[in-house]
Structure 1
Amino acid sequence: MQLTIIPTTLLQSYLLEVPKGLQEAFDALHDAPLSTPNFSFYTSVASVFSSKIEGENIELDSYIKHKRDGLPFLPDYTKKIDDLYQTYEFAQQRPLNKENVVEAHKLLGKHLVATAWQGRYRIQNMYVSTEDGRIEYVAAPPAQVPTEMASFFSDLETLQNTPMAIEEVFFYASLVHLVFVKIHPWNDGNGRTARLLEKWFLAQKLGEKAWFMQSEKMYYQQHSVYYQNLRRLGLEYNELDYGKALPFLLMLPQAVR
């Protein structure tokens, strides 16, 4: 298997450290009793907690009352989460490819990104900063984004066409998340997209039970560790050291167990 941008060097180290029983734990996943034909509890969990990671002020209990029971809230409280919920529903019905990722960003970006930039790569420099104004990460230079994303989608197609054990699927799902968020191709919505892609990839390889995983909730509950592990790779895109990514890659299996 030849990949151009998604690194493979940590696979053997990962296989030595990934918890045993991953297949059994995954097979035991099931939908929640709160779900109905028109409402998915775990899609709500994913949408709420992926949004909370980005600073949205939303609570799961309130959102369930809004989405499942029709309890009205102010539109500003729910609209971005509704957009993300719709995006997860879209992904659950479609193959993972460039065209559908672009459409997914248009959906999740309805109230997040200016219409002209929904589904379009940025042309500005992108910095991720802390609350006190310190630069935490410098994303791929805009001139590199189209080339990097072409390599990303080429690798994604190769991975989807390659048979692999469940442990390898989790390894590459985490790398799909990590490489995408490091490129940071959109003006906004990169984290939301990356976490969706991770689960979308799992579902393509392992089946619909992947949508019952609470990975977004796990990342939120461990958000300090999540960001710490993202920072390990370095400050500048062209100097990233994916050899330091193992702590990040080992987080995803926790969402199954």
Structure 2
Amino acid sequence: MWNWQQQAWPEFRWDQRKLMRAEALFAEGAGVVVGASKHLSVDERASLTIELMSHEAVDTSAIEGEPLDRDSVQSSIRRHLGLHSDHRRASPAEAGIAEMMVDLYEQSAAPLAEAVLFRWHRLITNGRTDLKDIGRYRTHDDPMQIVSGPLHAPKVHFEAPPSAEVPNEMARFWRWLERGAPNGSAPLAPVTRAGLAHLWFESIHPFEDGNGRVGRAISEKVLAQGLSSATITGMASTLLKHRKAYYAELERAHRELEITDWLLWFAAKTLEAQQHTLRQVEFVLEKSRLLERVRDQINARQEKALLRLFEAGPEGFLGGMSAANYMKITGAPPATATRDLAALAAKGAVRRTGEKKATRYYLNVATTPLVVIEVADIVGGDLGGQRS
């Protein structure tokens, strides 16, 4: 029996005491991200936002097994923002998800309404010819199931309400979302509200396809609405790293109305995503400091190579930069490449590892280590449970 088949549906239950610390940490982390972002220039802030949006667009699609080109998505995002782009050609899927992300972040404070959801669905299904219902709720008679395994013996991970019930189910969802609080009590804190909204929406699974991407966009928007200053949390990139656990937790939560475990897991990943975003902000600040420090000491080739290293993000240039990489990026001959890289190392812009053909160069910047936040890290608090 699925959650929506149970008599008390949709009266979700959870222990809010266990989420208190997560909510406090989320509010604190949002303040840190906003504070750190104030040290960025206008151009740096815009560049970071575009970077975060493009990562979210690509990663939320990757969760569904749809690979997109990050550079094409980023170019499309820049065009939608009215900024200079390289006019790189984007596929219908890349252009659609890029426009959805721009809409999501530019209108983060605006109320979420049915018309917005239908618009998002049209954008993420841009170019699709295999779907009957685009920009509207599903109407097919077949069961809406999430399955895996061979066709002759599929495993059903979840079955959503029949299509005929979707309009009424979504009407109830919209009433709750507009109210923002269970049964007239105090408004839910942002992480709890986002986690509940995501699970509730996925339990209805109202669209013929694209429910995962729309559901993650809902949680991102709800998180942004719960903060005094709109901030990108970046949930999809973190959920992609924990894709298997994400699906397992959703499947487990689809069977119960007591959802404390789901909300705790969602809260842990929300905090993890927030730390990743902060890491991105710190990395952009380090980039600005390093380039300012060496600006009058390096040539155009060296600057181009440094910018390429920074493009790789906090995770770094895959495998480190070799002399061969430098030659390909800058067009420098072998002797010049070796000399330029050695000079960058001497100035402290990069650090060298290895010898001879194994020599590699990495940015010499401090980056916060990646963190994995588990449920055990956030449990605590002293508040009574809440019911939707």
Q: TM above 0.5, one fold?
A: yes
Kindly report which structure 2 residues correspond to 1:173-184, keeping only aligned pairs within 5 A, or say none.
173-184=194-205
Alignment pair present for 1:171 and 2:157: no
Partner of 1:48: 58
Kindly report which structure 2 residues correspond to 1:214-225, keeping only aligned pairs within 5 A, or say none.
214-225=234-245
Secondary structure of the residue aligned to 1:86 is: helix
Partner of 2:144: 126
Alignment pair present for 1:70 and 2:86: yes
Alignment pair present for 1:12 and 2:16: yes
Counterpart residue identity of residue 56, structure 1: E
Kindly report which structure 2 residues correspond to 1:19-98, keeping only aligned pairs within 5 A, or say none.
20-30=24-34, 36=46, 40-60=50-70, 63-64=73-74, 69-70=85-86, 72=88, 75-76=90-91, 79-91=92-104, 92-93=106-107, 94-98=110-114
Compute the displacement of 1:6 (Å).
5.6
| Unmatched tracts of structure 2, length 5 or more | 1-7, 79-84, 276-388
Compute the displacement of 1:177 (Å).
0.8
C-alpha separation between the residues in 2 aligned to 1:136 and 1:26? 35
8 A Cα contact 2:148 2:155, kept in partner: yes
Secondary structure of the residue aligned to 2:158 is: strand
C-alpha separation between the residues in 2 aligned to 1:85 and 1:11? 37
Secondary structure of the residue aligned to 1:121 is: coil
Q: Among 183, 188, 192, which residue is 2:213 paired with?
A: 192
Alignment pair present for 1:137 and 2:158: yes
Counterpart residue identity of residue 127, structure 2: H
Compute the displacement of 1:96 (Å).
0.9
Q: Among 241, 253, 257, which residue is 2:271 paired with?
A: 253
C-alpha separation between the residues in 2 aligned to 1:20 and 1:131? 41
Identity %: 24
The structure whose Rg is larger is 2
C-alpha separation between the residues in 2 aligned to 1:89 and 1:208? 17
Counterpart residue identity of residue 130, structure 1: S
Distance 1:199 1:5, change over 3 A: farther
Could you list the per-position Cα deviations for residues 62-103 of structure 1 after superposition, in whole angstroms to 9, with x for gaps in the alignment? 644675542635x44xx3132112112223324311222222
C-alpha separation between the residues in 2 aligned to 1:61 and 1:119? 27
Counterpart residue identity of residue 237, structure 2: K
C-alpha separation between the residues in 1 aligned to 2:180 and 2:74? 35
Distance 1:207 1:162, change over 3 A: farther
C-alpha separation between the residues in 1 aligned to 2:131 and 2:44? 35
RMSD: 3.1
Alignment size in residue pairs: 243
C-alpha separation between the residues in 1 aligned to 2:72 and 2:122? 25
8 A Cα contact 2:96 2:124, kept in partner: yes
Secondary structure of the residue aligned to 2:33 is: coil
Counterpart residue identity of residue 266, structure 2: L
Alignment pair present for 1:102 and 2:118: yes
| Unmatched tracts of structure 1, length 5 or more | 235-239
Distance 1:162 1:89, change over 3 A: farther
Alignment pair present for 1:111 and 2:117: no
